[in-house]
């Protein structure tokens, strides 16, 4: 049997481990449970593949990326690793063959779709073989609060009950500290060691601009900064994917569309071209990219606002995996916000609240006057990083205005609700109080008798929402629940005492006005 380092050289052909890998591998090889947070492209797969090769038995990998299992297994087979998968796309015979190989101990790795583990026959099959470890990939899918929830993941907590002695390693590229804690508790990984790799991708330059003529802006960006280079352009809808791909092609840029509405053959062909050719641009919905491993993607462009910061970071993370300079460029406008709000209105209350919070966090990133990277890293729980010098706000500080007084009004409303009434409310109620609106909810709670009632009539509803978003972004306010209840932070006190100035961004699109416009 190889040692981990021997397996790295002999099987995978790499010289050395990347940051974090060896520690994680050693821990799992020794039978420990692990929760691994590593950015996309960080090298998560080796963290379970090598232990699976080193430990006796079969490594069982749970992954939601059914479409990629064949590719993953092919890639491993090419390296001489004995791998197979079980999912719903297979016919009976194929499944039988994999099951027989598993039972005969002829596999190193077995990939499973999560729903397979809800089927008693799969569990019985696993019970008859020897399992070296369970790897739970894309572990954030267990989070009901996250953007990618899969109910089948909840059942994975049972693995521990059935196989208490088998080590489990859960991996994800997207997790805020709250999601992180949720993963640990839902997967019964309370005792697991946590490995948090730095989320920073220093070679990616971040730039977010407001959208006025999106096509021209995109074309300028591609021509001046990435001529002839490979990249991904993300759009929200299939129809804009088609339009933008055609527009780029008309302008002499090699571009192909990719979205779920295309037939399988076309999609596979476009994906294959992207991987193989130099300098192809794929214009895509977010259906494109999961698990795509192309190291030299030089840019990721967003022509519409992503749904969440998690989504944004995952999508932009596909650029520059080779460590060379790459750009994450985005143009967003108020129309995007209207569209997202409309989409968020579908579904139940809890869903709506979550979507709105995700969207607000995304807008806060767009509207920040501070370093984008600092804010992103902070969002993912890496506090106290220094301004990076490699993002637009660092390189050309945006125009800002002194928002100290409005900030004090918001914070003191939050404070008074808490101190005088023992209550917490979301941004809607705070804005209504400041604007002096006698809504049913304001009257019901007697908020019209608060001393701050009506002190904010100098700004509109839009502006108040913007102020709150930027306060959240700057850590001067926090959201406490998924109802969006606002609470003060340690830093709020300095603003309330007048010891800290608050700068707000001037060029942020006027969001609430867009809401009214949508009704026209």
Binding site for ligand ADP (CB under 6 A): 14, 17-18, 21, 38, 40-46, 293
Task: State the alpha helices, DSSP H only, in 30-119.
Answer: 45-54, 66-78, 92-103
- Identify what 328 binds: ligand ADP, Zn ion, none; CB under 5 to 8 Å per kind: none
- DSSP code, position 397: P
Question: Looking at beta carbons only, is 17 or 332 nearer to ligand ADP?
Answer: 17
328 contacts Zn ion (rule: CB under 5 A): no
**For tokens 């520059």, what's the residue?**
320
375 contacts Zn ion (rule: CB under 5 A): no
Considering only residues 391, 407, 486, 511, which one is a binding residue for Zn ion as defined by CB under 5 A?
Answer: 391
Question: Looking at beta carbons only, is 5 or 157 nearer to ligand ADP?
Answer: 5
Q: Which residues are within 8 A (CB) of 382 and not within 5 positions of it... i.e. 6 or more apart?
A: 198, 199, 200
Considering only residues 37, 236, 371, 455, which one is a binding residue for Zn ion as defined by CB under 5 A?
Answer: 371
Give CA–CA dist 137/111, Å, rounded: 10
394 contacts Zn ion (rule: CB under 5 A): yes
Of 220, 190, 411, 405, whose CA–CA distance to 299 is shortest?
220
Question: Looking at beta carbons only, is 38 or 139 nearer to ligand ADP?
Answer: 38
**For tokens 């196989």, what's the residue?**
163
Of 429, 391, 398, 393, whose CA–CA distance to 413 is shortest?
429
Question: Looking at beta carbons only, is 40 or 285 nearer to ligand ADP?
Answer: 40
Question: Looking at beta carbons only, is 44 or 168 nearer to ligand ADP?
Answer: 44
Helix (H) or strand (E) holding 429: helix 427-435
Q: In what order do the strands lie in the sheet with 109-112?
A: 83-86, 109-112, 58-62, 131-136, 168-172, 34-37, 193-196
- Identify what 371 binds: Zn ion, ligand ADP, none; CB under 5 to 8 Å per kind: Zn ion
Smallest separation (angstroms) from ligand ADP to the CB of 285: 20
What would the 3-class secondary structure string for 303-327 be? CCCCCCHHHHHHHHCCCCCCCCCEE
Whether residue 163 contacts residue 134, with contact meaning beta carbons closer than 8 Å, is answered with: yes
Joined together, the tokens standing for residue 506 give 């001037």
Question: Looking at beta carbons only, is 168 or 373 nearer to Zn ion?
Answer: 373
Question: Looking at beta carbons only, is 150 or 505 nearer to Zn ion?
Answer: 505
Smallest separation (angstroms) from Zn ion to the CB of 203: 13
Give CA–CA dist 64/59, Å, rounded: 16
What angle is formed at CA 349 by the lines to CA 442 and CA 343, rounded to 5 degrees? 110
- Identify what 391 binds: Zn ion, ligand ADP, none; CB under 5 to 8 Å per kind: Zn ion
Q: What's the gap between Cα 87 and its chain centre? A: 25
User: What is the dihedral angle through the alpha carbons of 380, 382, 387, 393, rounded to the nearest 10 degrees?
Assistant: 10
Give CA–CA dist 217/12, Å, rounded: 42
- Identify what 413 binds: ligand ADP, Zn ion, none; CB under 5 to 8 Å per kind: none
- Identify what 373 binds: Zn ion, ligand ADP, none; CB under 5 to 8 Å per kind: Zn ion
Question: Looking at beta carbons only, is 11 or 442 nearer to ligand ADP?
Answer: 11
441-500 positions binding Zn ion, by CB under 5 A = none
Smallest separation (angstroms) from ligand ADP to the CB of 410: 39
Smallest separation (angstroms) from Zn ion to the CB of 328: 12
Question: Looking at beta carbons only, is 45 or 355 nearer to ligand ADP?
Answer: 45
Question: Looking at beta carbons only, is 14 or 145 nearer to ligand ADP?
Answer: 14
Question: Looking at beta carbons only, is 5 or 489 nearer to ligand ADP?
Answer: 5
Long-range CB pairs of 444-452 (<8 Å, 24+ gap) are 445/421, 447/417, 450/413, 450/416, 450/417, 450/420, 451/416, 452/409, 452/412, 452/413, 452/416
Smallest separation (angstroms) from ligand ADP to the CB of 101: 24
Smallest separation (angstroms) from Zn ion to the CB of 370: 8
Of 504, 446, 442, whose CA–CA distance to 476 is shortest?
504
- Identify what 45 binds: Zn ion, ligand ADP, none; CB under 5 to 8 Å per kind: ligand ADP
Smallest separation (angstroms) from ligand ADP to the CB of 296: 11
3-class secondary-structure state, position 478? strand
207 contacts Zn ion (rule: CB under 5 A): no
- Identify what 253 binds: Zn ion, ligand ADP, none; CB under 5 to 8 Å per kind: none
- Identify what 293 binds: Zn ion, ligand ADP, none; CB under 5 to 8 Å per kind: ligand ADP
> Beta strands 503-505 and 400-402: pairing type?
antiparallel
Joined together, the tokens standing for residue 61 give 């990998």
330-349 positions binding Zn ion, by CB under 5 A = none
Smallest separation (angstroms) from ligand ADP to the CB of 118: 25
- Identify what 388 binds: ligand ADP, Zn ion, none; CB under 5 to 8 Å per kind: Zn ion
For Zn ion, the binding residues (CB under 5 A) are: 371, 373, 388, 391, 394
């Amino acid at each position: 049997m190889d040692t981990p380092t021997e397996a790295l050289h002999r099987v995978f052909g790499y010289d050395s481990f990347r940051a974090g890998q060896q520690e994680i591998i050693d821990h799992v090889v020794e039978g420990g449970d692990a929760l691994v947070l590593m950015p996309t492209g960080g090298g998560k797969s080796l963290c379970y593949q090598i232990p699976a090769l080193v430990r006796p038995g079969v490594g069982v990998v749970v992954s939601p990326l059914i479409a990629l299992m064949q590719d993953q297994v092919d890639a491993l087979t090419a390296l001489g690793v004995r791998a197979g998968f079980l999912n719903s796309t297979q016919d009976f015979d194929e499944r039988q063959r994999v099951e027989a190989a598993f039972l005969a101990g002829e596999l190193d790795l077995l990939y499973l779709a999560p729903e397979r583990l809800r089927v008693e026959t799969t569990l019985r099959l696993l019970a008859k073989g020897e399992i070296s470890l369970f790897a739970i990939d894309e572990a954030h899918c267990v989070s009901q609060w996250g953007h990618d929830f899969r109910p089948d993941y909840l059942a994975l907590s049972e693995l521990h009950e059935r196989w208490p002695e088998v080590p489990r390693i859960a991996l994800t590229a997207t997790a805020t500290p709250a999601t992180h804690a949720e993963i640990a508790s839902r997967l019964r990984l309370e005792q697991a060691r946590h490995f948090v790799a730095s989320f920073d991708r220093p070679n990616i330059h971040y730039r977010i601009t407001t959208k006025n003529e999106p096509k021209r802006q995109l074309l300028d960006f591609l021509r001046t900064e990435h001529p002839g280079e490979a990249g991904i352009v993300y759009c929200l809808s299939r129809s804009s994917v088609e339009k933008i791909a055609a527009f780029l092609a008309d302008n002499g840029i090699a571009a192909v569309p990719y979205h779920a509405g295309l037939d399988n053959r076309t999609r596979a062909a476009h994906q294959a071209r992207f991987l193989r050719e130099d300098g192809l641009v794929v214009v895509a919905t977010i259906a494109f990219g999961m698990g795509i491993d192309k190291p030299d993607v030089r840019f990721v462009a967003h022509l519409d606002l992503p749904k969440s910061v998690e989504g944004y970071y995952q999508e932009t993370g596909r650029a520059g995996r080779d460590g060379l300079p790459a750009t994450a460029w985005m143009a967003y406008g108020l129309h995007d916000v209207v569209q997202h709000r409309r989409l968020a209105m579908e579904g139940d209350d809890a869903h709506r609240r979550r979507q709105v919070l995700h969207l607000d966090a995304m807008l806060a990133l767009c509207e920040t006057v501070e370093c984008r990277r600092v804010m992103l890293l902070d969002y993912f729980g890496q506090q106290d990083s220094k301004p990076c010098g490699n993002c637009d706000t660092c390189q050309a500080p945006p125009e800002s205005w002194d928002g100290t007084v409005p900030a004090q009004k918001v914070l003191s409303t939050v404070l008074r609700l808490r101190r005088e009434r023992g209550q917490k409310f979301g941004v809607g109620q705070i804005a209504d109080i400041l604007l002096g609106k006698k809504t049913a909810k304001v009257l019901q709670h007697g908020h019209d008798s608060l001393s701050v009632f009506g002190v904010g009539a100098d700004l509109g509803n839009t502006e108040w929402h913007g102020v709150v978003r930027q306060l959240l972004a700057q850590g001067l306010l926090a959201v406490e629940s998924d109802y969006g209840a606002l609470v003060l932070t340690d830093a709020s006190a300095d603003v309330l005492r007048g010891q800290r100035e608050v700068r707000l961004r001037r060029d942020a699109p006027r969001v609430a006005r867009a809401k009214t416009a949508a009704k026209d």
